Amino acid sequence: MIRIQEVAGKIMTHLEAFNGSKAAMDTPQILIVRGISRKRIKPKDLGKLLSETLESIEAQRVEMVSEEAVNIIGIMDENIRASVDIPEETDIQGIYRLKESFESINCHLEYALATVENIGLFLILWKDKSGVGPVFVELVVSNLHVGYTS
């Protein structure tokens, strides 16, 4: 079985964001990593970069409005809540509000939910719409089998 750290490492390496990246959460069930890509990408090309990144690890995209997405996000949420007390309920609409809030501060944001074998991942890329500055990377990688530790 593939491990969450292996998936995260491949993604961050492909995005040239591995060096200097930091884990915001690192448990056997879930890994949340933030980094800055060294790739020079225009904001309008973030979607293409996102697709290329998922293809590089043979990930299967999951439609955000689907039962599968609800299940994956629910497992990710459960894995986070196992380590952190969060009083609010899971809200898939929060993803859309996140995108709107980034756009309101003049940033372009692209995201995707995907799976690779026994792992779910949520990848967010964002950059200032002016094209100035780096591409920021936020990545959540989670075991989809509750109780499985890699």
Segment 19-45, tens digit of pLDDT: 888 999 999 999 999 999 999 999 999
Sequence-ordered list of residues with C-beta below 8 angstroms from that of 144, at least 6 positions apart, any chain = 72, 75, 115, 118, 119, 120
pTM of the shown model: 0.88
Which pLDDT belongs to residue 93? 62
* pLDDT per position as a tens digit, 60-95: 999 988 999 989 988 988 888 887 776 666 656 666
Tell me the C-alpha distance between 143 and 125, whole Å.
Answer: 21
